[in-house]
């Protein structure tokens, strides 16, 4: 686990520091969806710097090819990671291994093996397509010191995650999860009332939990997560709208709204990594 990893569900009454992750583009959205979706490496780096200034602690990184399509190309990742590290110094970088209907499990593993990133997200649902490769993915991440976050969409994903924890496919140190409320296909906005049930199902089988939400209920979900001592991921990957349905100005506004909620709730932000 990184030195600043947070245990959020075993704290006393005080509120633990909040980690804010920004996912500024995702695998699908383009400038047709919103003119401020960053698609080039230069745009991603500039957005990252602005979000760091606004209060983000981590970037959930997607890269696009020359046609603006989702890519797991290690070369593009290296270029993007270098640009973000230069422009947004101190912002942690988590790469995605999202298949987005384009990549198999072995290709996802190869991306992680070639990059050996500090952190990566891995969908349990996607890994379940080939449990043998999943075993290698989790094993490699542990051996290489790659911090791995499990993407969980529903109760079936949680049951798979817990089963793999129990039988050793997922290692005991790999208990950081992201709960996703809502979905891409079919497109479905987050229903905030589903969060408590998912948390109850997870129980104590986590060391850190984060939530992201589709659609204009995103900030309502953020407020619930703040109260429940979890962490949040916001940004244009999942949501482009304010609660009244109007378009957000940019990813910075998404992050700024989280910081405003945290301030009003009395929840401190996680201290940033200082870079000399």
Q: What is the pLDDT at residue 274? A: 67
Q: Closest Cα partner for 210 from 176, 174, 247, 243?
A: 176
| pLDDT averaged over 10-residue windows placed end to end, the chain, 276 residues | 39 79 97 97 98 98 96 98 98 98 97 98 98 98 98 98 98 98 87 96 97 96 96 97 95 98 96 72
Which residues partner with 94 through β-bridges? 60, 119
Q: Closest Cα partner for 105 from 78, 142, 75, 137?
A: 137
75 token code pair? 């070369």
Q: What is the pLDDT at residue 31? A: 96
Q: What is the pLDDT at residue 254? A: 98
Rounded Cα gap, residues 102 and 107, in angstroms? 10
- The 8-class DSSP code of residue 241 comes to B
- This model's pTM is above 0.75: yes
Q: What is the pLDDT at residue 4? A: 37
Q: What is the pLDDT at residue 13? A: 55
Beta strands in 40-114 (DSSP E): 58-61, 63-64, 70-71, 92-96
Q: What is the pLDDT at residue 9? A: 42
3-state class (DSSP) for residue 151: strand
Report which secondary-structure segment, H or E, holds 164: helix 155-167
136 φ/ψ angles, rounded to the nearest 5 degrees: -70, -35
What does the longest C-alpha to C-alpha distance in the chain come to? 50
Q: What is the pLDDT at residue 11? A: 41
Rounded Cα gap, residues 149 and 98, in angstroms? 12
The 8 Å CB, 24+ separation contacts for 141-145 are 141/112, 141/174, 142/171, 142/173, 142/174, 144/116
């Amino acid at each position: 686990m990184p030195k600043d990893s947070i245990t959020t569900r075993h704290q006393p009454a005080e509120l633990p520091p909040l980690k804010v992750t920004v996912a500024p583009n995702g695998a699908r959205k383009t400038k047709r969806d919103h003119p401020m979706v960053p698609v080039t490496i230069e745009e991603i780096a500039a957005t990252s710097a602005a979000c760091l200034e606004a209060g983000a602690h981590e970037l959930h990184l997607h890269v696009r090819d020359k046609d603006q399509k989702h890519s797991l190309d290690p070369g593009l990742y290296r270029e993007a990671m270098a640009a973000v590290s230069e422009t947004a110094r101190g912002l942690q970088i988590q790469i995605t291994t999202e298949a987005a209907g384009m990549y198999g499990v072995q290709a996802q593993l190869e991306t992680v093996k070639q990059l050996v990133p500090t952190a990566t997200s891995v969908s349990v649902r996607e890994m379940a397509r080939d449990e043998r490769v999943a075993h290698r993915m989790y094993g490699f991440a542990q051996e290489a010191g790659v911090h791995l976050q499990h993407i969980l969409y529903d109760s079936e994903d949680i049951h798979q995650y817990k089963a793999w924890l129990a039988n050793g496919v997922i290692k005991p140190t790999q208990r950081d999860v992201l709960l996703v409320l809502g979905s891409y296909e079919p497109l479905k906005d987050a229903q905030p009332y589903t969060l408590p049930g998912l948390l109850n199902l997870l129980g104590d089988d986590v060391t850190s939990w984060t939530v992201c939400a589709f659609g204009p209920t995103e900030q309502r979900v953020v407020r619930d997560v703040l109260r429940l001592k979890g962490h949040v991921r916001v940004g244009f990957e999942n949501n482009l709208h304010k609660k009244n349905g109007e378009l957000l100005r940019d990813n910075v506004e998404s992050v700024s709204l989280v910081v405003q909620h945290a301030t009003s709730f009395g929840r401190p932000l996680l201290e940033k990594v200082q870079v000399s």
